[in-house]
């Protein structure tokens, strides 16, 4: 099944369950929002997507604590936890999704190599963070992040 077919099925399933999602994207730069909104009917389940590429955008748009950014860095489970939970609260949706990572080919460190990404999912029950490493091209990196988001949503909604 293609990615667009998966998204289409997910949109139908979320709509049947009356669930809405919102996304706070950093390293994917709007790709997740773009792909979801390629599907007719997405407006019934997709509340909003915010691209918060800079730290300042994370602070101003999503109320990320500056101290958290200072201590842990933008690419961290702590920041992504806030991204996911804050987008959920600000958007009043069932599921908030937060993403921050290093798409490369530059920007990595020994502790956080190129390809590192944290994806967070916030529901009324919990906020969970998953860490992955996709050391590939920037476009393929974004595609892999989307696939992991779809995997989670398909398994948990």
Give me the mean pLDDT over the 45-58 stretch. Answer: 98
- What average pLDDT does this structure show over 23-46? 98
- Per-residue confidence at 17, pLDDT binned at 50, 70, 90? very high
Beta pairing partners, 128: 121
Cβ within 8 Å of residue 96, ≥6 positions away? 21, 22, 23, 24, 83, 84, 85, 86, 87, 88, 89, 120, 121, 122
CATH superfamily of 3-156: CinA-like (3.90.950.20)
Give the pLDDT score at 10: 98
Establish how many alpha carbons lie within 13 A of residue 4's alpha carbon, considering only the half-sphere containing its beta carbon: 6
Q: Where are the domains of the chain?
A: 3-156
pLDDT of residue 120: 98
pLDDT of residue 117: 98
Predicted pLDDT at 75 = 98
Instruction: Tell me the mean pLDDT in the region 49-72.
Output: 98
Q: What is the pLDDT of residue 107?
A: 93
Predicted local confidence at residue 82, as pLDDT: 98
Task: Please give the pLDDT value at position 89.
Answer: 98
Place of tokens 């595609």: 143
Q: What is the mean pLDDT of residues 144-154?
A: 98
96-138: per-residue pLDDT in tens? 999 999 999 999 999 999 999 999 999 999 999 999 999 999 9
* Predicted pLDDT at 129: 98
* 151 — pLDDT class (breaks 50, 70, 90): very high
Residue 18: burial class (beta carbons within 10 Å; 0-12, 13-18, 19+) = exposed
Q: What is the pTM of this model?
A: 0.97
């Amino acid at each position: 099944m293609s990615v667009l077919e998966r998204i289409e099925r997910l949109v139908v399933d979320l709509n049947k369950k009356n669930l809405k999602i919102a996304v706070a994207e950093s390293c994917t730069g709007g790709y997740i929002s773009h792909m979801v909104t390629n599907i007719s009917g997405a407006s019934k389940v997709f509340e909003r997507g915010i691209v918060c590429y800079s730290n300042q955008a994370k602070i101003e748009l999503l109320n990320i604590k500056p101290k958290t950014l200072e201590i842990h860095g933008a690419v961290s489970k702590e920041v992504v936890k806030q991204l996911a939970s804050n987008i959920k609260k600000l958007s009043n949706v069932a599921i908030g999704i937060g993403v921050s990572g290093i798409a490369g080919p530059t920007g990595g460190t020994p502790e956080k190599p190129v390809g590192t990404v944290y994806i967070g999912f916030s529901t009324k029950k919990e906020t969970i963070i998953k860490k992955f490493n996709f050391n590939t091209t920037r476009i393929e990196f974004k595609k892999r992040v989307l696939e992991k988001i779809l995997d989670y949503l398909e398994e948990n909604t």
